[in-house]
């Protein structure tokens, strides 16, 4: 499903924007905004639900506890009263459905930006080599990888699949050539033969596991050397993987630290992600009663996630998408936080804010009182 959405929805949109402005960096920005605008109603539902539950949850929990205690011996009445509470305030799970509906599109967008043309596209084959006397008992099962759209021109791309007709199980001494072909069976080498600069898209073959188990040539021929497990990877270069945008050296560049040097463009993108995530979390609590636990989580979570992405292998193009998406999310959160609440929730919120104000005043008064010197009377000077 993710591949279908990518090939039939996201890549055509990408082609359209690249046709308007021949910059893959701008195409990423435009694609992200279009998808986020399209998903606005769904994400708005999640944000609204989270905001309302943050206000209603303390009251709901107290009501539910009272109902369970009062009708402990009458389950039918208990369920009836709990249903009334849910009807009044809504279900805490109501915000999950919009999130689940939009997840396939967001995953497809993420996958699109991790593939061609923004990054080199890997085809991974996990192989098992058996002794020659055992392979005869194994029934061949053809292997076909997932299809990836490979860009061979700015708006020209073909879906490419890696296949092994006799499967991924070999006998010692056997050999087979991996077929890279389009969905209609046309060899990828034939597609490349029509290009003037075909060599720039020629796949490279490497053994990432078990180099003593198999060997591989640069035409994709795998030879089984000894029994064991092995992994072979074919990588097709991305058209724009080495293209820059603004301060980004290459959209396909991966890693904060590589070859003994710091990639400062990646560091800036990761830092931008952390800042925009922090901003979005701050805006989500705007107008809400202070919550020390939530405030602590809002500070720690962006730091933890940002630290993870410093070393998580994501291409610069994906990080660019994540920063733009966070900015859009922060703006959407700000807009929705200014929406009027239902009367019952607004009344609860006003009470919560009043209680917080009274508590803060009492605490402040207590601090003043505690600052009296030991010999001063409690009634004041």
The per-residue pLDDT for range 12-37, each reduced to its tens digit, is 887 788 778 778 888 888 888 888 88
pLDDT for 372 equals: 46
Token reading at 82: 């709990």
Q: What's the rounded Cα separation, in Å, for the pair 80 and 128?
A: 59
Question: Of the candidates 360, 353, 347, 359, which has an alpha carbon nearest to the alpha carbon of residue 288?
Answer: 353
Return the percentage of the chain with pLDDT > 70, whole number: 76
Beta bridge partners of 128: 169, 229
pLDDT for 92 equals: 58
Q: What's the rounded Cα separation, in Å, for the pair 48 and 92?
A: 11
Residue scoring higher pLDDT (311 or 145): 145
CB 88 within 8 A of CB 56: no
Q: What's the rounded Cα separation, in Å, for the pair 296 and 138?
A: 57
What is the overall mean pLDDT for the chain? 76
**Residue where the block lists tokens 């992200």:** 32
Q: Between β-strands 179-182 and 157-164, what pairing exists: parallel, antiparallel or unpaired?
A: antiparallel
One-character DSSP codes across 183-228: TTS-BHHHHHTTSTTGGGG--EEEEEE-TTTEEE-TTSEEEE-SSE
pLDDT tens digit sequence for 321-356: 888 888 888 888 888 777 776 666 667 766 766 766
Mean pLDDT of 126-140: 83
pLDDT tens digit sequence for 156-165: 788 889 998 8
pLDDT for 233 equals: 92
Q: What's the rounded Cα separation, in Å, for the pair 237 and 219?
A: 15
Mean pLDDT of 135-160: 83
pLDDT for 293 equals: 60
Q: Sorting pLDDT into bands at 50, 70 and 90, what band is 231?
A: very high
Q: What's the rounded Cα separation, in Å, for the pair 78 and 377?
A: 54
Task: Report the predicted TM-score, pTM, of the whole model to 2 decimal places.
Answer: 0.64
pLDDT value at 374 more than 50 = no
Beta bridge partners of 248: 245
Q: What's the rounded Cα separation, in Å, for the pair 169 and 129?
A: 6
Token reading at 141: 């099962």
Helix axes 96-114, 316-337, angle to 10 degrees: 150
Beta strands in 26-66 (DSSP E): none
Number of CB atoms found within 10 A of residue 216's CB? 22
Mean pLDDT of 281-300: 64
pLDDT tens digit sequence for 36-70: 888 788 777 777 777 777 777 777 777 777 777 77
pLDDT value at 93 more than 70 = no
DSSP code of 168? S
Q: What's the rounded Cα separation, in Å, for the pair 262 and 256?
A: 6
Q: Sorting pLDDT into bands at 50, 70 and 90, what band is 373?
A: very low
pLDDT value at 275 more than 80 = yes
Cβ-count burial 333-359 (b if 16+ within 10 Å, e if not): beebbeeebeeebeebbeebeeeeeee
pLDDT for 292 equals: 58
In angstroms, the first-to-last Cα distance of the chain is 76
Return the percentage of the chain with pLDDT > 90, whole number: 2
Mean pLDDT of 116-133: 84
Q: What's the rounded Cα separation, in Å, for the pair 372 and 264?
A: 54
pLDDT for 116 equals: 72
Q: What's the rounded Cα separation, in Å, for the pair 274 and 278?
A: 6
Q: Sorting pLDDT into bands at 50, 70 and 90, what band is 381?
A: very low
Query: Burial, 125: exposed, middle or buried (Cβ in 10 Å; 0-12, 13-18, 19+)?
Result: buried
State phi, psi for 315 to the nearest 5 degrees.
Answer: -60, 155
Mean pLDDT of 255-270: 73
Residue scoring higher pLDDT (176 or 3): 176
pLDDT value at 313 more than 60 = yes
Q: Between β-strands 175-177 and 214-216, what pairing exists: parallel, antiparallel or unpaired?
A: unpaired
Lowest mean pLDDT among 47-56, 93-102, 167-176: 93-102
pLDDT for 167 equals: 86
Cβ-count burial 1-23 (b if 16+ within 10 Å, e if not): ebbebbbebbbebbeebbeeeeb
């Amino acid at each position: 499903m993710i591949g279908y959405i990518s090939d039939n929805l996201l890549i055509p949109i990408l082609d359209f924007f690249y046709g308007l402005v021949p910059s893959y960096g701008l195409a990423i920005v435009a694609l992200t905004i279009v998808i986020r605008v399209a998903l606005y109603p769904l994400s708005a539902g999640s944000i609204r639900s989270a905001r309302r539950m943050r206000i209603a949850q303390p009251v709901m929990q107290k009501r539910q506890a009272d109902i369970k205690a009062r009708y402990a011996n009458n389950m039918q009445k208990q369920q009836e009263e709990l249903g009334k509470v849910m009807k009044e305030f809504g279900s805490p799970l109501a915000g999950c459905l919009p999130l689940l509906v939009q997840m396939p599109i967001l995953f497809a967008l993420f996958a699109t930006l991790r593939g061609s043309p923004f990054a080199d596209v890997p085809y991974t084959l996990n192989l098992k080599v058996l002794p020659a006397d055992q392979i005869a008992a194994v029934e061949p099962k053809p292997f076909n990888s997932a299809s990836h759209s490979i860009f061979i021109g700015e708006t020209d791309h073909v879906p490419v699949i890696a296949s092994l007709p006799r499967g991924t199980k070999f006998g010692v001494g056997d050999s087979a050539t991996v077929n890279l072909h389009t969905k209609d069976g046309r060899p990828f080498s034939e597609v490349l033969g029509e290009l003037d600069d075909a060599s720039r898209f020629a796949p490279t073959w490497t053994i990432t596991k078990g180099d003593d188990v198999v060997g591989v040539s640069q035409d994709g021929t795998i030879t089984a050397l000894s029994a064991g497990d092995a992994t072979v990877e074919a990588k097709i270069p991305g058209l724009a993987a080495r293209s820059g945008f603004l301060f980004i050296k290459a959209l396909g560049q991966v890693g904060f630290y590589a070859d003994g040097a710091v990639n400062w463009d990646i560091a800036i993108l990761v830092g931008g992600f952390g800042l925009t995530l922090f901003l979005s979390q701050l805006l989500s609590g705007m107008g809400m009663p202070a919550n020390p636990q939530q405030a602590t989580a809002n500070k720690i979570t962006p730091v933890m996630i940002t630290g993870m992405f410093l070393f998580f292998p994501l291409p610069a193009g994906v990080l660019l998408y994540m920063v733009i998406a966070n900015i859009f999310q922060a703006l959407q959160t700000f807009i929705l936080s200014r929406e009027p609440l239902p009367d019952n929730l607004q009344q609860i919120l006003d009470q919560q804010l009043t209680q917080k104000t009274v508590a803060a005043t009492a605490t402040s008064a207590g601090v003043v009182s505690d600052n009296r010197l030991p010999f001063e009377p409690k009634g004041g000077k």
